[in-house]
Amino acid sequence: MPTYTSTPLVRRETVANCGGFDENLPCFEDWELCLRLAESYKFIYLDRALVTKGTGTANISAEPSRLVEAIERLCKQYTLPRDTRAQLLADAGANPL
């Protein structure tokens, strides 16, 4: 369920009720928020592109060590599908252990 902050349409009070973004995570704050939202709310999927994502060398997502740290924290905190950790690590450019 990876997502980007600009793709979900969520009421402000709903985000506030879930505690907002976890600012202690080095990255994936948006993904972690979606996991918490999914525990209490129903999602509707739109099968069309809503945004275009760009990545530059200054982005946090360009730092694999920060991505790995966030992935490990998410995997410890949430019950994720079996292959999710390996897929996230591969997407981050890290080798799954």
Tens-level pLDDT at each residue, the chain (97 residues): 455 667 778 899 999 999 999 988 887 888 889 889 989 999 888 888 777 766 666 665 567 777 788 888 888 888 888 788 787 777 766 665 5
Whole domain around residue 28: which residue ranges?
A: 12-47+59-91
Is 96 part of any domain? no
Residue 2 lies in a domain: no
With beta carbons less than 8 A apart as the criterion, state whether 68 and 92 touch.
yes
Give the predicted TM-score (pTM) of the model.
0.63
For residue 58, what are the contacts with CB-CB under 8 A and spacing of at least 6? Answer: none
Instruction: Determine, yes or no, domain membership for 27.
Output: yes
- For residue 81, the model assigns a pLDDT of 80
In a domain? residue 5: no
Number of domain units in the chain = 1
Output DSSP code: residue 60: G
Q: What is the pLDDT of residue 1?
A: 46
